[in-house]
Structure 1
Amino acid sequence: MNLSLPRRTVALGLLAGSLALAGCGKDDSSSGSSSSGGSGSANASTQCPPADGSAQKKQSFDDAPPMCIDANKTYTATMTTDVGDVVITLDAKKAPKTVNNFVVLSRYHFYDGVSFHRVIPGFMAQGGDPKGDGTGGPGYTIEDEFPQEGEYKEGSIAMANTGQPNSGGSQFFIVTGDSGTALPPQYTLFGQVSKGMDVVKKIEADGNQDGSQEGTPVKKHTITSVKIEEK
């Protein structure tokens, strides 16, 4: 399968060869998107959403958000899907900019109604594209915060990217098997499933290993909401 660099990609080393799996989605506003590295700016038009979840749904932004979280606090995301809840412990200490981005998008209800558009059993379940076809994004990109070699494990949640530096936006993937844990440290790791891996496995069960389908699942599962708890 050919690697398409304009699209968000997760590359997998398989046996003695290398299989590039495309489909993590081109940012639909990449021609005019901004990359502030997630650090925020006093002039940024994107504002911090209310922590109580009262913000109106928003899926298009002019700029990356300012820093809205406290990296010294603990953040947990409860992702409600059509097949159950997935609880994710977010790692704000190791990936503060990425966690900030995920928290802000979640509080803006960006992920509500968004599907897992690419699911490959034994590898990963990918979502976060509002278009649902791998071509969408929030309108900006954020800075990479890569992990160390060997840190991915089953239930890890990481950012998809185009293969170019600082190209993550809203699309993420959850590692579901050995092929995912073997990934090189080229995808920002920002959390770990702490409860509901059985739900992730239900999503994985409807995935697609047919290379010609680029992981398009047999049945798409949908995120209903993502609620953030701060402690």
Structure 2
Amino acid sequence: MASRAFFTRLALLAALLPLTEACSKTPKNKAEAMKEVKEKMRKDTNPVAVIETTLGTITVELYRHAAPKTVENFVSLAKGEREFTDTDGKPAKRPYYDGLVFHRVIPNFMIQGGDIKGNGTGGPGYQFADEINAKALGLDKMKVSASPMAMQEVGQVARTEVFKKLNIQSQQDLTAKQKEAEALFKSEQAKWGEKSLEELYTARGITYTPGLESESNTKGSLSMANAGPNTNGSQFFISVADNIYLDGKHTVFGRVIGGLDIAEAITKVERDQQDRPKKTVVMKKVTILEN
């Protein structure tokens, strides 16, 4: 049976209409809206983020069971409880996400935000590790050869191994050892076909955490954007399609339980060649609701 605190939180959600798809469809009463929220939440101990944008509201359940440290980072920034480095280089502490834009939007893919600079290069002034359990996602059983995108990454791993084995440190070294390097490169690539995605991504530098109830990058998931292994900060993206090829590389720390249509609408705004909306889409306010 759900706790009294859970029903109290549902009442708060209903009071902040429109927060859910049920609300956006004009439910007959608040009880109907609360029922819709309850049915969509995975665990009633999880917090909820209400992201009010200039195009509507997106409500997200934050998955403490999947990525507790990542959720805590998001929550503390949203509440203004965690210090970050402001655009002037000075320390600041305020609700971080309020007023930030979605700086990158791509139809049938995702919307990305959380950059204090608004251009994709900014963050809070610190980085933290990924929270992913490869085995929970089945990456230990998925073969590299079954993923065309993974095979592209094999080339990078193989190239690094070739340079290491042949002690190639310059273009001159590469030119001098070109034939040997090409043969070794093919040999290194061939080794990876039957290995697992977990092994490949570990070779790329990702460290996995056993025991986490990791979630997949499917439609509606809230995930950390990064610049490589363990470079998480404040940027995140919401998938509007199944992007499971990102599993193992991007921490999923929540899922949309209301307003996915708003996220999809944001992907359809007119954008430039860098996928930046020509008409600014702002996160007016991010509210965290907890037990």
Q: TM-score, normalised by structure 2?
A: 0.51
Aligned equivalents of 1:184 and 1:72: distance in 2?
A: 25
Structure 1 residue 91, shift from structure 2 partner: 0.3
What secondary structure does 1:117 align onto? strand
* Counterpart residue identity of residue 49, structure 2: A
Instruction: State the partner residue of 1:85.
Output: 57
Count of aligned residue pairs for this structure pair: 156
Aligned equivalents of 2:64 and 2:230: distance in 1?
A: 18
- Deviation >3 Å, runs of 4+: none
Instruction: State the partner residue of 1:193.
Output: 256
Instruction: State the partner residue of 2:38.
Output: none
Aligned equivalents of 2:216 and 2:252: distance in 1?
A: 8
- From the CA coordinates, give the structure whose radius of gyration is larger: 2
Q: Which segment is superposed worse, 180-189 or 138-147?
A: 180-189
* Counterpart residue identity of residue 204, structure 1: T
Instruction: State the partner residue of 2:238.
Output: 174
Instruction: State the partner residue of 1:137.
Output: 123
* Counterpart residue identity of residue 280, structure 2: K
Aligned equivalents of 2:244 and 2:286: distance in 1?
A: 25
What secondary structure does 1:185 align onto? coil
Q: Considering fraction of residues, name the structure with more helix.
A: 2
1:164-213 CA-partner distances (Å, limit 9, x unpaired): x21000000000124x34423200100000001111111111154x7xx2
* Counterpart residue identity of residue 155, structure 1: G
Q: Is the 8 A contact 2:216 2:247 kept in 1?
A: no
Instruction: State the partner residue of 1:151.
Output: 216
Structure 1 residue 99, shift from structure 2 partner: 0.1
Aligned equivalents of 1:100 and 1:230: distance in 2?
A: 12
Structure 1 residue 214, shift from structure 2 partner: 2.9
Structure 1 residue 107, shift from structure 2 partner: 0.1
Q: Is the 8 A contact 1:72 1:93 kept in 2?
A: no
Instruction: State the partner residue of 2:148.
Output: none
Aligned equivalents of 2:288 and 2:266: distance in 1?
A: 22
* Counterpart residue identity of residue 127, structure 1: G
| Unmatched runs of 5 consecutive residues or more in structure 1 | 1-70
Residues 207/96 of structure 1: CA separation in 2 closer, same or farther (3 Å cut)? farther
Identity of aligned residues (%): 44
Instruction: State the partner residue of 1:227.
Output: 287
Structure 1 residue 74, shift from structure 2 partner: 1.8
Q: Considering fraction of residues, name the structure with more strand.
A: 1
User: Are 1:126 and 2:126 an aligned pair?
Assistant: no
Q: Is the 8 A contact 1:119 1:125 kept in 2?
A: yes
Q: TM-score, normalised by structure 1?
A: 0.63
